[in-house]
Amino acid sequence: MTQADSAADEIRRRIRTIPDFPKPGIQFRDITTLLLDPDGLRLAVEQMVASVEGPIDLVAGIEARGFVFAPAVALALGAGVLLVRKDGKLPGATIAEDYALEYGTDRITIHADACAPGARVLLVDDLIATGGTARAAVRLLRKAGAIVTQASFVIDLPALGGAEALRSDGITVQTLVSYEGD
């Protein structure tokens, strides 16, 4: 067993699965139990940081659980934190990106001055499922002039195809644990 496999097992052990939430048939992967455990949280952040290639200027965290990991990863990388928020949550001038949901659309925003053109940005969130929000975040950051080539997630649900979709957008995707069939 490799060190990464051992770390994945330790992280997986700290993530609780809640069946039939928010609706029947869904296996909800709850990271709050990981966050409650300082050793587990430290290990997750260390693993996310270890996967980063090259210097990073900003770590972009997707609302809301990406906000938990982005500051810790940013501090370890000597980078700043950029918040990717749901529409209507940021004051001042913003730029936005719409994306499709199962039924309808949604919108994410960043401050118009949050990212200097050419900034090297790492995208971070707790989970990658279908990839709709993460792909929209990449488009939004690139619209702002960022260089986005990497994304890191604690959990991957590979059956939903999000990580693969991000890879097709030219993003190197790192995940710490995967749950098949979800």
Residues 65, 85, 97, 135: which is the catalytic one?
65
Task: Mark whether 102 is an active-site residue.
Answer: yes
Sheet of strand 147-156: strand arrangement = 94-101, 104-111, 80-86, 58-62, 120-128, 147-156, 172-178
C-alpha–C-alpha distance, residues 117 and 144, integer Å: 7
Q: Which residues contact 76 (CB under 8 A, 6 or more apart)?
A: 45, 46, 49
Are 161 and 134 spatial neighbours (Cβ–Cβ below 8 Å)?
Answer: no
In 52-162 the beta strands, taken as DSSP E runs, fall at 58-62, 80-86, 94-101, 104-111, 120-128, 147-156
Both structure tokens of 25: 């048939």
Q: Which residues are catalytic?
A: 65, 102
